[in-house]
Structure 1
Amino acid sequence: MSTPYHRVIHENEQRFRIATDAAGIGVWELDMRNGEFYWNPRMYDLYGVAPVDGPLGYSEWERRLLPEDRCRALQRIWTGVEQGHPWEVTFRIRRGDGTIRDIRSVGQQLYDERGEPSRLFGINEDITERCQADRARVQSELEHCRALSAIGRELRNPLSALRRCHERLDSAALDAEQRHCLALARIASDTLLAQIDAILDQAWADSSRAEVQAEPFDLRRCLSEQIALLRELAERKGLILSLEWGRDLPARVCGDETRLLQVVHNLTRNAIQYTDQGWVCVRVRRLDATRIEVAVADTGPGIRPEDQDLIFEAFRRERSAGNGRGGSGFGLYICRQVVWLLGGEIRVESEPGAGATFTFSAEYPEVAEGEGSGCCETDTVPPEARPAHRRSAGLDVLVVANDPDQGRLLYELLLRIHCAPRLVDNGADALAEWQRQAPSLMLLELELGDLDGRTVVQRVREAERGVDAPRTPIAVMTAYPLAEVQRDCLQAGADQVLKQRVGLAALQQLIGRVRGETPQTLRCPV
C-alpha cells in the first residue's frame, strides 16, 4: 500500500533519474550481500556493454581498468569503503571495442536499518574530452617551454661572454669616466640576463616551479645601482628620477636580489616610458621585521579605473594616453608573478591625469653585517670532496665548455685567481682528462653537444665508486632557471649547480670552498 513516505521516495528517485540521464551520468549500485550489480542505461554506454548482457561483474569491471591506473583506483575506493567515507577517483577503462575512456567515479557506502553496510552506490562520468584537452594543453605548454628554453640559452651565451669581458676589463687601467661606463654596462648586462631568466621562468605555467635564491645582500647598494642605470634614460626625457629611503630600513637583507631588481627595473622603466614631464620617484620603506615595501610613483597620464585590473595580465598595455609607447605588455605580468614568488602583493593607485603609483611588498628579513647562515642554502660541496692535498695554490681545475668564448674567458679568470686550469670542449674529452688525472675541481656546462653534463657527472661518480677513488668536486653551469634541472644535476652527483653567468667573484668563492678557505654556510652566487 502506497504511503506519503513511499510517494516522496518514488518522486525523488524519478527526479534523480531525470537529472542523471540529462547529464549523461552513469549510475551503479552493488548489493554487498549477494554481489549483484545494478546499472542505469548510461553505464552500459560508458563501458560499451549491451544491456541484454547485463552489468559487468566486479572481477570483469576490475579487468577493464588500465593496469597503470588499477591499483591507485582500487586503493582509493576500498579505503573509502573500509573507513565509511565517500570517495572520488579518476581512472581509465578499456571498452569492449578497444577504445579507452577517462572516467570520474564518485561513490559511498550505504547502510541498512541496523546500521550494517549493505550497498555501495556511485556514479561514473565520462571526462575523456576534458582529459584529452588537458593533456593536449600540457603537451603544448611543454613544447612551448622547451622552445623558449632553447632560445634563452642562445641569448644567454653571448651575454654571459659579455659579462666575463666586463670582469677582465675591471682590472685594466681605466680612467674615471671609462670605469663609470663599464659599471653601467655590467649592471645593464646583469639586468638583461635577469629578464631572460624571468621570461624563461614564466614560460613554465605555474610560478610554484620557479626558483627563488635566498642570499644576504646590501639593499641600499643594489637599489642605488639599479636606479643609477635608469637615471640616464630619465634625464634624456627631461625627467627627475629620485630614490627615497624610509626610516629604520635595514642595511642588509636576505632574499633574492635578482628578482627584487627585476621588479624595480620593470616598474621604474614603465614609469619613465609613460611619463613625458615631471618626475619618477622610487620609495623604499620597512613594513616589519621581515617585509619591505617599494613604491614607484610618477606624474604620467594615469590609468583609468576600469583598466587597473587588466594591466597585470599578459600582453596588456592600458595606460591612458599611452598609445604608441611600445613594449610587449609582459612586464607588469612578470612583476605580479615575481612578487607572488617573493611572498608579497602588488597594487596600483591612479587617476587619469594624476599619475600612478605601483606598490609592492616582499619578504626580505634583515640580517646582521657579515651574517650569512640564517637564510641561505648550505653549500653542497661535501667535506670529503676537499682533501688536504687539494688546498694548495695552483688548484687544478678542469673546465668543460662547449662555447669556445666562454671556455677561454673562464680559463683566463681562473688563471687570475692562481688556479691551473685545463680546458676541453666536450664530454668525451672531459672523461678522458679525468681518467688521466683527476682534477681538484671540475667545472662543466650542462649542454655539451655530445654528452650532457649530467651524463658526465654520472660516469665520473660510477668510475669513482668502481675504484674507490676520492670524490672530485663537480660544479655544473646551466642556462636553465628551473629548479627541476638543478635537482636532476644534484641527483646525478654534482656538488654545486650554478647559473651560467659565473663571474670572478663567484669563481673565487667556489675555489675558496674547494680549498676549505670559505665558510661552508655561504652559497656561491648564481
Structure 2
Amino acid sequence: MGKLSTWGERWTAAAWRLAAQLARFFTPRAVLRRIAARRISIALIVSVALAALVTVVLLGFAVLSYNQERDERWRELHRRLDANADQLTAAIALPAWNFDDRQIIAIVQASLNNRDLYGCTVTLGKRMQFAFLRNARGVVVQVAHAPDLPALRTAERTIRVAGNDIGVVKMYVTPEYVLNTLRERRIALGFAIVALDVTLVLGVYLLLWYLMLKPLKAVGHYAASVKAGGAGAGPDQSLFLGELKTLKESILEMVALLDQRYSAMRASEERLTIATDAAQIGIWDWDVDSNEVVWDREMHRQYGVPPGAFNSTLAAWEARVLPEDLARVNLLIEEVQRGERPYVTEFRIRWPDGQLRHIKAAGKAFRDASGTFRRLVGVNYDITDIKLAEEELRRHRNHLEELVAERTEALSVAVADAQAANRAKSVFLATMSHELRTPLHSVIGFSRLLADSQTMTEEEKRNLGVINRSGQHLLTLINDLLELSKIEAGRITLQSTVVAVESLLREVMDMLGARARQAGLHMTLDCHGLPPAVHMDGARLRQVLLNLVSNAVKFSQQGSVMLIARARPLEGGRQALSFSVRDTGMGIAKADQQRIFEPFVQTDSSGTQEGTGLGLTISREFVRMMGGQLEVESEPGRGAEFRFAIEVTGADYVPREPLSVVERLDASERGHRILVVDDNEDSRHLIDSLLSPLGFKVELEADGVAALAALRRAPPALVLMDWRMPGLDGLAVIRLLRAEPELRQPRVVMMTAHAFDEERREALAAGADEFLCKPIEQDRLFQVLEQQLGVRFRRRQRLPSATPPPLTGACLALLPYEVLVEMGELLHLLYPARALQLLEGFRATHADTVLAVEAMLELHQYPQLCSMIEAVCAPQAP
C-alpha cells in the first residue's frame, strides 16, 4: 500500500522538475543568448515564449488540481474502510457471542459488497478464525488464511459484548480502483492542458499577429524600402492601432524630417560652394602623416597656380611664402601642434609673375584618440585689396587727425566754458545752500518761540506769523531747488535701508493730519497686507508721499484724502508695492495732466496757491529712480488720483527706534577738549549747549584765523570746523593744519550746510576725518564723537511703550521758583540740554515731573513748556 501511495507524489515531483527546466530554458538571459547567436523572427520568439508561459501556468494549475483530487480520494477510501469496519463489528457482535457461524459468514459476505473492499477476517479468541477475500472475478470467497499484500489498506476493530472483548475484526481495502481513477485523471488533465495550451497560444498569437507582429513587419518592410531609396506611401493605415499608430506616425515624421534635412544639407552644400566661390575663400587640407596638402579651385587662383601645377606637398607651399614670413608661420605651426595656440595668421606670397599678395589663413587642428596631431584643415583669404585700402585709409586718417585736432581745440574752449558755467552753478547753489538755509533755521525757530509769548500784542503775533510762514515758504523753495539741481546733475543715488512701510505711511498721515483737520478734510489710510519690512530708500518714498498727500490736502476744499497701499508677492522674495493718493478736490483738466510734472507749474492759474511747483517734478524723478512710473487720473470737479508701483526686496527684521538716549560721559572720559569753529553765533551756542552738559570742554572761535591760532597754541582732541567762513575758510584751515606735521594732529570733523556729495569728498581729501551736514542731528553728532574720540556715552533706556503722564502746572509748581526761572531762560536761549541738567537733582524726588519735561523737550515743544513755566511763575513775579 505504501509504494502505491507514493506513485502520485513521484509524478508530481517530475512535473515540477519539468516546469523548472522549462523556466530555466526560457529565462530572459537564455533567450537573449539564443537571439544573439542567430537572427530569430520576433513572431517565433513571441510564440515560443507565449507557449512556454501558458504551459507553465496550466501545468501549475493542473498539478494543484490533481494533488487536491488525489488527497480527497484517498481520504474518501479511508472513510469508507473505517465506516464498513465499524458497521461489520457492530453487526457480528451478537452472532459472535452466540457462536453462530452461519450468521457470521452471511453478515461478512453481505458487508463485502463494495468493490473497494478486498477482504475481511474475523477472529474469535484462539479457537475460530474466518477469512474472506475477493477473487479475480470479483466474487467474495472464504479462504483459510488472511491476505498478505503490502499495498492493501487495513482497519482493525475489537468486538466487545457486555464489556468483554470476544474477538477482532480486520477489514482490507485495495487502492487499485483509486489508482486507476487517478491515472485516468492524469491523462484527462494532460489532454486538457494540451488543448488549452494550443487554443490559448493560437488565439493569443493570432491576436498579437494582427495587432503587433503584422504592423511591425510592415514597418520593417517600409524601413527597408526607405533604406533602398524608395520611401513610398508608408505602411497600410488599417493595420495600426494605439501605440503602434503613434510609432508609425513618428517613423513617417522622422523619415520626412530626414528627407527635409538631407535636401537642406544638399542645398546648404550648394550654397556653401557658391558662397566660397563668391567670397573667394580657399579651402585646404594638410595630412601630417603623408605630408600631403590638398587645395580646392580657389586656392589655385589665390596662389596664381593653374590646377595640376601644384604637386600637393608642404614644401611646394613653403616655396611660395616669403622667407621673412615663413619662419614666423612655421613657429606658429609648431605651437599649434603642441596645442598652445589656434592657427590664425597672415603672410605674404609671391606669384610666378612676381606679384606680391597678402594672405590671411585660419585653420583647425584634428587629433586622434591619444591626442597626436594628425590634420590641419583651414581656409585662406586674399586680403591684398584690404591691405591697399588700409594704407590709403591710413593716409586719409593722418589728414583727418590734423582736422580733428583743430576742431578739438575749438571744442575744448567750448567745453571749458560749459564746465566753468557748471562750476559757477554748483558754487552758486552751494553758496545759497549755506547762506540761506543756516539763517532761515534761526528765523523760523525764533519766530515760533516768540509767537507763543504772552507779552506780545496780537498785531505783533500776526507779524511774526507772516515772518514764520514766509520763512517756511522760502526754505521749501530752496530745498526743492537744490533737490531738483541734484537730480538734473545725476548726483542723487538711492540708499537702501530696512524700512517698516506701514509705520512710514502712518508717519506721513500724522505729519499732515493737523493741516487736514484745520481744512476740514477727512484723512484715511488703507494699507492692508503690507510686509513688515522691506529694503528700499525710505527717505525718498517718504518725500514722494508727503508731496502727493500735501498737494491733495492743499487743493481739496472739502471731502477726504485717502492714502492706499497694497503689496503683491513676487519670485525670489521680492514684493510689488503699489501706492495711490486720492482726493475729492477740484481735479485736473486733461490738458494739464502732463504739464503739472514740469518745474514751476501749478494748475491753479489764479496764483493763490502757495508752493514752488517742484514737488511733482521731484516726486516723478524719485519714482523713476525706484523703478516705477508716477501716473495721474483726474477729471475737473471729481478729484484726482496719483499712483505708482515699485518693486522691493523683503527684509527679515523690522527696524526699531533706538531704546536709549545719551545722558552724559563717564567721569573717567570727561574733559576732552573740543574746538568749535563757526562764524554763526547761533550755531556755536547750539553745539556748546549740546556738548558742555555731557562733560566736554568746549572752546568757541568765530573765524579760521582765530581757529588756526588756537590749534597752534593748544591742539584739542577734536575740531568741529565750519566750511564757509569769511577770510580763511574751514577747508584752508584743515590744509594748513595737516601741512604742519610737528603739531599734534587733532581729529577734524567738517560741518557745512552744503547739499552735494562733491563737498564731502573734497573735505575728506583735504584731511578731514568726518563730514556732518547742517542742520546737525544730535544722534549723528554723538555717533561721530564716539567714533573719532573713542568715548562711550552713558545712555538711559527709553521705554517706547511707557508714556509719561502729561505735564501740568501743578507738577511744575512743585519745583523751586529759581529753578523754573532759570530753566525758562535757558529754553528761550535754545539750551534744552542745560535745562535738563538743572532737573537732574530732582529726578529722585519728582520723577514724574522730570519725565514729563523730558518728553516735551524730545518732541521740541519748547513754546508750550515756556508758556507753562511763565504761567506758574507769574504770581511770584515782582
Q: Normalization by structure 2: what TM-score? A: 0.37
Write the distance in 2 (CA, Å) between the matches of 1:291 and 1:396: 51
Instruction: Answer yes or no: is the 8 Å Cα contact 2:581–2:643 preserved in 1.
Output: yes
- After TM superposition, the structure 1 stretch with the greater mean CA deviation from structure 2, 270-279 or 153-162, is 153-162
Write the distance in 2 (CA, Å) between the matches of 1:390 and 1:474: 24
The reply on whether 1:209 has 2:481 as its aligned counterpart is: no
Aligned runs of 1:41-190 on 2, under 5 Å? 113=385, 115-116=387-388, 117-120=390-393, 121=396, 139-140=420-421, 142-161=423-442
TM-superposed CA distance for 1:247, in Å, is 1.6
- After TM superposition, the structure 1 stretch with the greater mean CA deviation from structure 2, 126-135 or 340-349, is 126-135
Write the distance in 2 (CA, Å) between the matches of 1:131 and 1:443: 41
The reply on whether 1:351 has 2:632 as its aligned counterpart is: no
Task: Name the structure 2 match of 1:508.
Answer: 782
**Amino acid across the alignment from 2:784:** L
Instruction: Answer yes or no: is the 8 Å Cα contact 1:245–1:283 preserved in 2.
Output: yes
Task: Name the structure 2 match of 1:334.
Answer: 618
Task: Name the structure 2 match of 1:300.
Answer: 585
Aligned runs of 1:71-470 on 2, under 5 Å? 113=385, 115-116=387-388, 117-120=390-393, 121=396, 139-140=420-421, 142-161=423-442, 196-204=478-486, 206-210=488-492, 212-216=494-498, 219-251=501-533, 255=537, 257=539, 259-286=540-567, 289=574, 292-318=577-603, 324-361=608-645, 365=649, 367=651, 369=653, 392-463=669-740, 466-467=741-742, 469=744
Write the distance in 2 (CA, Å) between the matches of 1:355 and 1:254: 30
- Structure with more relative contact order (C-alpha pairs < 8 Å, separation 6 or more): 1
**Equivalent position SS for 2:772:** strand
> C-alpha deviations, 1:314-349, integer Å up to 9, x for none?
122247x98753433222112223333445432223
**Equivalent position SS for 1:485:** helix
Write the distance in 2 (CA, Å) between the matches of 1:215 and 1:159: 30
TM-superposed CA distance for 1:401, in Å, is 1.0
**Amino acid across the alignment from 1:113:** D
TM-superposed CA distance for 1:250, in Å, is 2.8
Cα gap change, 1:509/1:194 in structure 2, threshold over 3 Å: closer, same or farther? farther
TM-superposed CA distance for 1:426, in Å, is 1.1
**Equivalent position SS for 2:612:** coil
TM-superposed CA distance for 1:280, in Å, is 0.8
> C-alpha deviations, 1:135-167, integer Å up to 9, x for none?
66665554444334323323311344479889x
The reply on whether 1:479 has 2:753 as its aligned counterpart is: yes
Write the distance in 2 (CA, Å) between the matches of 1:462 and 1:150: 27
Instruction: Answer yes or no: is the 8 Å Cα contact 2:433–2:755 preserved in 1.
Output: no
**Equivalent position SS for 2:530:** coil
Q: Which runs of 5+ in 2 are unaligned?
A: 1-382, 451-469, 657-665, 794-878
Write the distance in 1 (CA, Å) between the matches of 2:533 and 2:446: 30
TM-superposed CA distance for 1:275, in Å, is 1.6
> C-alpha deviations, 1:253-308, integer Å up to 9, x for none?
55352x33322222111111222221111233445647644322112233333432
- After TM superposition, the structure 1 stretch with the greater mean CA deviation from structure 2, 279-288 or 399-408, is 279-288
Write the distance in 2 (CA, Å) between the matches of 1:328 and 1:194: 8
TM-superposed CA distance for 1:352, in Å, is 3.6
- After TM superposition, the structure 1 stretch with the greater mean CA deviation from structure 2, 416-425 or 391-400, is 391-400
Write the distance in 2 (CA, Å) between the matches of 1:494 and 1:365: 36
Instruction: Answer yes or no: is the 8 Å Cα contact 1:191–1:262 preserved in 2.
Output: no
Task: Name the structure 1 match of 2:770.
Answer: 496
Point out the structure with the larger helix share.
2
Write the distance in 1 (CA, Å) between the matches of 2:441 and 2:490: 27
Write the distance in 2 (CA, Å) between the matches of 1:222 and 1:261: 7
**Amino acid across the alignment from 1:118:** E
**Equivalent position SS for 2:562:** strand
Write the distance in 2 (CA, Å) between the matches of 1:390 and 1:208: 48
> C-alpha deviations, 1:402-434, integer Å up to 9, x for none?
101110111111123332211111112222222
Instruction: Answer yes or no: is the 8 Å Cα contact 1:442–1:473 preserved in 2.
Output: yes
- After TM superposition, the structure 1 stretch with the greater mean CA deviation from structure 2, 484-493 or 354-363, is 354-363
TM-superposed CA distance for 1:507, in Å, is 2.1
Instruction: Answer yes or no: is the 8 Å Cα contact 1:300–1:354 preserved in 2.
Output: yes
Q: How many residues align?
A: 370
Write the distance in 2 (CA, Å) between the matches of 1:496 and 1:191: 32
Task: State which structure, 1 or 2, has the greater radius of gyration over its C-alpha atoms.
Answer: 2
TM-superposed CA distance for 1:481, in Å, is 0.9
Cα gap change, 1:429/1:132 in structure 2, threshold over 3 Å: closer, same or farther? closer
Say what the alpha-carbon RMSD is for the aligned residues: 4.1
Instruction: Answer yes or no: is the 8 Å Cα contact 2:770–2:784 preserved in 1.
Output: no
Q: Normalization by structure 1: what TM-score? A: 0.60
**Amino acid across the alignment from 1:311:** I
Write the distance in 2 (CA, Å) between the matches of 1:208 and 1:135: 20
